[in-house]
């Protein structure tokens, strides 16, 4: 039989526990009691007109502050350009700047001149723009693909001094090479068309457009960017190049050893995109940006990635 002291102690502990439970339950019960009740018989349109309900559920909605006008390096005419129908993409090359017909001299008319890439080696008549030194796009002809195995074409690209970075629709190959290699590739028999890799393809259309939760950051006219390089290029060399453009204290290598974190203005971002080693310049993924994207999309904003 427990002692009187033990029984009283146990009774006291029980009372304290009940008091704690009551303390925890009261706020929840109150919140439940004051929460606007949703009538299941109401239609969705009526619910949207219920100001009390909307006020309750929008308490946690982030507020996105717009960026200053005119700071986006990618123009609106390009960022908002619709994609062609799948049935109308035959012969078009996919780039980050959209689908491009490399044989059409006006294919890049919506792209600012300083973001089109520089042609160093002109292509033969009817075979596109030509190539620049560094990185470019070649389109393999259908005839070559139907008459020769891909391994043979790939081997010839390498023999000419080119290095394959990746492939893109349709029949496109992004290649890297020096002056001699690009001069040879632009004239290769298996190449149907060629074009420089445009700087606009590297710049995310989100830059300068996505609202930010932090008002001070949103009002700035520069951007925090993640800069990545093509596989096989010297990241430390690319970092040095970017630091020359934006300043040594405004660019550094991320902990992954592959990504360059930089703060750049509109003009600096465009110049950095011209570096042949860079593959893209995009916005870093951060809580403030994620929240702003939620706000932007909820408000009917249009993202262009």
- Cα dist from 169 to 139, 172, 221, whole Å: 9, 6, 35
Candidates 67, 157, 139, 137; CA nearest to 96 is 137
Candidates 93, 247, 74; CA nearest to 170 is 93
Q: What is the pLDDT of residues 108-137, one digit of tens each?
A: 888 888 889 999 999 999 999 999 999 999
In this predicted structure, the answer to whether residue 149 has a pLDDT above a threshold of 50 is: yes
pLDDT confidence band for 170 (50 / 70 / 90): very high
Q: What is the pLDDT of residues 5-56, one digit of tens each?
A: 455 555 666 666 666 766 666 566 555 555 555 555 555 555 556 666 666 6
- What confidence score (pLDDT) does residue 304 get? 32
May I ask the CATH class of domain 61-80+205-305?
A: alpha beta
Of residues 236 and 5, more confidently modeled: 236
What percent of the chain is modeled with pLDDT above 90?
43
In this predicted structure, the answer to whether residue 1 has a pLDDT above a threshold of 70 is: no
Rounded mean pLDDT of 160-189? 95
Ranked by mean pLDDT, which of 22-26, 94-98, 151-155, 291-295 comes out on top? 151-155
Answer for the pair 276, 232: CB distance below 8 angstroms, yes or no: no
In this predicted structure, the answer to whether residue 195 has a pLDDT above a threshold of 60 is: yes
In this predicted structure, the answer to whether residue 85 has a pLDDT above a threshold of 70 is: yes
- What confidence score (pLDDT) does residue 30 get? 59
Q: What share of the chain is helix, strand, coil (3-state, %, to 5)?
A: 40, 20, 40
- What confidence score (pLDDT) does residue 289 get? 40
225-258: buried (b, 16+ CB within 10 Å) or exposed (e) per residue? bbbbbbeebebeebbebbbebbeeebbeeeeeee
- What confidence score (pLDDT) does residue 24 get? 64
- What confidence score (pLDDT) does residue 302 get? 36
In this predicted structure, the answer to whether residue 243 has a pLDDT above a threshold of 80 is: yes
- What confidence score (pLDDT) does residue 296 get? 39
Of residues 243 and 18, more confidently modeled: 243
In this predicted structure, the answer to whether residue 103 has a pLDDT above a threshold of 90 is: yes
CA distance 19 to 47: 39
Domain boundaries, the chain: 4-57, 61-80+205-305, 85-201
Q: What is the pLDDT of residues 252-269, one digit of tens each?
A: 999 988 899 999 999 999
In this predicted structure, the answer to whether residue 182 has a pLDDT above a threshold of 80 is: yes
């Amino acid at each position: 039989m427990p002692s009187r002291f033990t029984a009283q102690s146990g009774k006291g502990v029980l009372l304290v526990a009940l008091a704690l439970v009551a303390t925890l339950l009261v706020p929840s019960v109150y919140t439940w009691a004051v929460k606007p009740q949703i009538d299941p018989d109401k239609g969705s349109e009526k619910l949207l007109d219920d100001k009390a309900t909307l006020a309750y559920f929008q308490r946690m909605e982030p507020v996105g502050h717009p960026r200053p006008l005119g700071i986006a390096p990618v123009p609106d005419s390009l960022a908002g350009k619709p994609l062609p129908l799948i049935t109308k993409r035959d012969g078009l090359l996919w780039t980050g700047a959209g689908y491009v017909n490399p044989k059409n001299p006006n294919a890049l008319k919506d792209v600012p001149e300083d973001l089109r890439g520089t042609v160093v080696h002109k292509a033969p008549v009817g075979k596109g723009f030509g190539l620049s030194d560094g990185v470019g796009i070649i389109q393999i002809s259908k005839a070559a693909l139907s008459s020769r195995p891909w391994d043979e074409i790939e081997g010839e690209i390498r023999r000419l001094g080119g290095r394959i970075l990746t492939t893109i629709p349709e029949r496109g190959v992004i290649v890297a090479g020096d002056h001699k290699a690009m001069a040879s590739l632009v004239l290769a028999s298996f190449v149907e068309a060629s074009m420089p890799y445009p700087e606009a393809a590297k710049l995310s259309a989100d830059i300068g457009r996505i609202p930010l939760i932090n008002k001070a950051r949103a009002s700035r006219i520069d951007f925090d960017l993640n800069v990545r390089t093509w596989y096989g290029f010297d990241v430390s060399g690319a970092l040095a190049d970017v630091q020359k453009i934006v300043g040594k204290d405004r660019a550094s290598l991320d902990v992954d050893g592959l990504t360059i974190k930089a703060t750049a203005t509109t003009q600096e971002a465009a110049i950095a995109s011209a570096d042949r080693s860079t593959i893209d310049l995009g916005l870093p993924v951060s809580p403030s940006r994620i929240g702003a994207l939620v706000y932007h999309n909820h408000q009917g904003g249009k993202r262009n990635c």
